Amino acid sequence: MKRNLSLAAKWNIVSELYHNDIELEAYVNFLADIGAKSILDCACGTGFPSLELAKHGFKVTASDNDFESLNILKSKMNNEKISFPIYHISWENLDVNKLENQFDAVICLGSSITYFDSWDENVRMLSSNHHSIIKYLQGFKKVTKKGGHVLIGICKLYKKSKDVDPIPFPPKRIDGLIYNMQWTLHYNWKSKEKTWNCLVASNSNSQEYEFSVRLISHLYDKSELIAYCEAVFNRVYAIDICPSPYHDIILVCET
């Protein structure tokens, strides 16, 4: 039987299946290498990597525009007895006075930047101009200390030589259940639109998938996103810090 879950609840499971310890270690090491101590995760979702970064001693602040995702994160924090500031705030409203701080590093990972107007399963058409991304990048810069870094994650699969990527993930156990996950990414480079289809099944339901997710987003390849970042930041470079074939390339933007 298919489960009737909210997008936040679905993403909480998908995030557990998608992220791994190798990816986390790469983020921890890189943030330490650039000397970052205070971190704003401005697309924190249900808690990756905010929770783990806090456990590693970083001074974390988390923000997101999805209220239910933040409630899931708060529940995790209570269960793990971890505390750090959380803000329900959109990117266009990021402000030093509201956040009461500037940060050594601002992170926006998991290709979150491409969903700036479409993190909703009911969205069927992108409403904003693709160039609107610049105002969000300017907001990230505004809350970053001078000499700090903004880290933008974009999936390394996004290449103009392809129009589809099927991605089977290895099975993973969560809370006693073994889950299987399959993604299919469709790229329309003419309209600059990506469609993400995700199917998740567990050993509690062998007859059909347990739930699905379908989202659309803006589509940029690495060079296009670098060009947008270079319009805002002093220096931008790309680094591949995780060996996985489907995790992020990080665009490092210096302020």
Segments in the chain forming alpha helices (H): 7-18, 21-33, 50-55, 67-80, 96-99, 133-142, 222-230
CB proximity list for 217: less than 8 A, separation 6 or greater: 111, 114, 115, 118, 126, 193, 194, 196
The structural domains of the chain, with segments of one domain joined by +, span: 7-157+220-254
Strands (E), the chain: 38-41, 59-64, 86-88, 103-108, 144-155, 164-168, 172-174, 177-188, 193-202, 211-218, 235-239, 248-254
**pLDDT of amino acid 175:** 82
Helices 133-142 and 222-230 meet at what angle, rounded to 10? 60
CATH class of the domain defined by 7-157+220-254 = alpha beta
**pLDDT of amino acid 206:** 53
For residue range 78-124, what is the model confidence (pLDDT) as tens digits? 999 999 999 999 999 998 888 988 999 999 999 999 999 999 999 88
CA distance 176 to 232: 46
**pLDDT of amino acid 28:** 98
pTM recorded for the entire structure:
0.94
**pLDDT of amino acid 4:** 83
What are the per-10-residue average pLDDT scores of the chain (255 residues)? 83 95 96 98 98 98 97 97 96 90 96 94 83 92 97 95 95 88 96 95 67 95 96 96 90 97
For residue range 190-204, what is the model confidence (pLDDT) as tens digits? 999 999 999 999 876
User: Max CA-CA distance within the chain?
Assistant: 55
Sign of CA dihedral 217, 242, 94, 229: negative
| Beta carbons of 16 and 175 less than 8 angstroms apart | no
- Separation of CA 88 from chain center: 16
Any idea what the Cα angle at residue 238 is, between residues 182 and 105, rounded to 5°?
Answer: 95
Residue 57, by phi and psi: left (phi above 0), alpha (psi -120 to 50) or beta? left
